[in-house]
Amino acid sequence: MRGVLGPGATFFAPMEGVTHPTLRQLMSERGGIDVVCTEFVRVTDGPLSLRTLKRHVVRPPRGLLSVQVMGNHIEHMADAAAMVSDLGADIVDINLGCPAPRAVRKGVGSAMLKDPALLARVLAAMRARTSLPLSAKIRAGFDSADHVLTIARAVQESGADFITVHPRRRVDFYAGVADWRIIALLARELAIPVIGNGDIWYAADALRIERETGCSGVMLGRPALRNPWVFQQIAALRRGQVPPRPSGRDLAVHLRDLAERLAAWLGPLGVLGMLKEQLRYLGRAVPDDGHFLREACRQTSVEAALGYVDGMLSDRPAADLDLAAEGGRLEKSGSMAVGRSSAESPAQDLRAPDAPCGLEFGASPT
């Protein structure tokens, strides 16, 4: 990140099946995003597909493009770093955090947190093959957060320019509340910039996490699906301006715009499923105990879904939705105060095998 982005950089997070070129372009056009990230490109033991890589390396209209790769084959990951660099990426990122069972079974994503020596060899090989900024996105650990600093130092010593941390363990998936003390620990101990990620649900949370943890920037994924204007709101707050607050009509127009772009990209097949993925998060901002979300996801065609959204949301004023920049009442944002003490000792305070930090650990599905 050094020499590429200044303090307070904003990242639209990589999300499998979600941050495809169409959504990245729409979000980038809206503004406020410094870096858009691709969904991960899976690097296997087989030959790399230039065609697959080209499909991911689509530059946004604004900002920089980070291409994320996921794998554990040292030579092929190094080749992937070189190839995405040649294809026009601005940043090369490695996925060390995916909690999905199929990734773990293959020994990639968050599974690599169990073997810091391997992830260091992979990163060092990638470093040798690209002159672009190199980054890693990690979780706090696999089963335990005891070794998060060891993992992060391995990333740093392998030549990464910055690191993004989601402060949950793999076993947590997305349950409980993100423990921002882990981000603060890494920001304090590492020489490279640390990007904070995890439960930054409202725009004001972005400024708060930077202030409280000392992180150098923020990465938002699910919160940006829930509120597609959140990056604009963050930018406005940084400038001391009044942030936009979307209305129900704004959400309906956004969804229809996305549907039209998806249809142009994919054809008619597949659009409904992708719209419902968006509705899973947009619906969380509607304070009706999930009624809107349930009914929207029961629709059986694109037009039916869009018609339902239009009918239910178009007349809703902004005040009726939980999308204010300053924070709301429906989501539980990350915290530096989730436990009894500060994150001085990962082995003592951050491992939380029996939830001593007060988090509600479980296997809930970013």
For residue 160, being part of any structural domain is answered with yes
Smallest Cα–Cα separation from 93: which of 65, 54, 112?
65
The residue range of the domain holding 108 is 9-243+342-350
- Look at strands 64-70 and 217-220 and give their pairing: unpaired
Residue 189 and residue 83 share a domain: yes
For the beta carbon of residue 166, count every other beta carbon within 10 angstroms: 28
Quickly state the pLDDT bin for 338 (edges 50, 70, 90).
low
Residue 130 and residue 81 share a domain: yes
For residue 366, being part of any structural domain is answered with no
Residue 300 and residue 178 share a domain: no
At residue 268, the pLDDT reads: 83
Say whether pTM exceeds 0.85: yes
At residue 363, the pLDDT reads: 26
Cα 42 to chain centroid distance, Å, stands at 17
Q: What is the pLDDT of residues 269-327, one digit of tens each?
A: 889 999 999 999 999 999 999 999 999 999 999 999 999 999 999 999 999 999 999 98
At residue 348, the pLDDT reads: 37
Is residue 59's pLDDT more than 60? yes
Residue 183 and residue 84 share a domain: yes
Q: Rounded to 5 degrees, what are φ and ψ at 198?
A: 120, 110
At residue 48, the pLDDT reads: 82
Is residue 357's pLDDT more than 60? no
For residue 310, being part of any structural domain is answered with yes
Is residue 1's pLDDT more than 80? no
At residue 49, the pLDDT reads: 85
CATH number at 161 reads 3.20.20.70
At residue 359, the pLDDT reads: 18
For residue 311, being part of any structural domain is answered with yes
Residue 215 and residue 288 share a domain: no
Residues 268, 271: Cα–Cα separation, whole Å: 6
Cα end-to-end span (Å), the chain:
24
Residue 315 and residue 297 share a domain: yes
> Looking at residues 329-340, what average pLDDT do you find?
81
Q: What is the pLDDT of residues 101-142, one digit of tens each?
A: 999 999 999 999 999 999 999 999 999 999 999 999 999 999
At residue 340, the pLDDT reads: 34
Residue 277 and residue 130 share a domain: no
For residue 82, being part of any structural domain is answered with yes
Share above pLDDT 90 across residues of the chain, in percent, rounded to a whole number = 83
Residue 201 and residue 100 share a domain: yes
> Looking at residues 17-45, what average pLDDT do you find?
94
For residue 177, being part of any structural domain is answered with yes
* Cα atoms in the Cβ-side hemisphere of radius 13 Å centred on 331: 31
For residue 360, being part of any structural domain is answered with no
Residues 36, 26: Cα–Cα separation, whole Å: 11
Residue 215 and residue 83 share a domain: yes
Would residue 98 show up in a list of annotated catalytic residues for this protein? yes
Structural domains in the chain (count): 2
> Looking at residues 245-255, what average pLDDT do you find?
97
Residue 221 and residue 76 share a domain: yes
For residue 337, being part of any structural domain is answered with no
At residue 140, the pLDDT reads: 95
Residue 136 and residue 213 share a domain: yes
At residue 149, the pLDDT reads: 97
Mean pLDDT of the chain: 90
At residue 269, the pLDDT reads: 84
Exposure letters 75-108 (e unless 16+ CB within 10 A, then b): ebbbbbbbbbbebebbbbbbbbbbbeeebbebeb
Residue 310 and residue 289 share a domain: yes
At residue 47, the pLDDT reads: 78
Residues 153, 106: Cα–Cα separation, whole Å: 24
Quickly state the pLDDT bin for 362 (edges 50, 70, 90).
very low
Share above pLDDT 70 across residues of the chain, in percent, rounded to a whole number = 91
For the beta carbon of residue 314, count every other beta carbon within 10 angstroms: 14
Residues 54, 76: Cα–Cα separation, whole Å: 16
Residue with tokens 């439960």: 199
